[in-house]
Homo-oligomer: A and B are copies of this chain.
């Protein structure tokens, strides 16, 4: 593999809430996404989900309260915990999660992208 420049990868797409896969390590996928507005409440029963913000602001709404992530900040939503991501316009973030992780958990929305349709860039 070649090295990966994370910001260059963010320049390759414009879709919102559409994770792009940039790497795989130990069965986990490294994904980047852009977001704006609210996604949907959902959970992943078997997978922890790691978020790192690169630009903008990502709020992870949890039943226990909101986690507000600015650039350089990270959070791990533990398996089984309901969450709803909300982003300021043009927020850029990374997720690291097992290849089995469904985009919006058990919830199907018009913006849900099934794992097998998530694109490598």
Whether the pair B4, A23 counts as a contact (CB closer than 8 A) is: no
Spot the interface stretch: A35-43, A66-74, A110-118. Answer: A66-74
Which positions 34-62 of chain A face chain B at CB distance < 8 Å? 47-50, 52
Q: Is A13 an interface residue (CB 8 A)?
A: no
Q: How far is the CA of A25 from the CA of B4 in the complex (A)?
A: 22
How many copies of the chain does the oligomer comprise?
A: 2
Whether the pair A23, B73 counts as a contact (CB closer than 8 A) is: no
Which chain B positions have C-beta within 8 A of A28? 26, 28
Whether the pair B48, A26 counts as a contact (CB closer than 8 A) is: yes
Q: Is A5 an interface residue (CB 8 A)?
A: yes
- A residues apposed to B, CB below 8 Å: 1, 3-7, 23-26, 28, 30, 47-50, 52, 67-69, 72-76, 78, 96-98
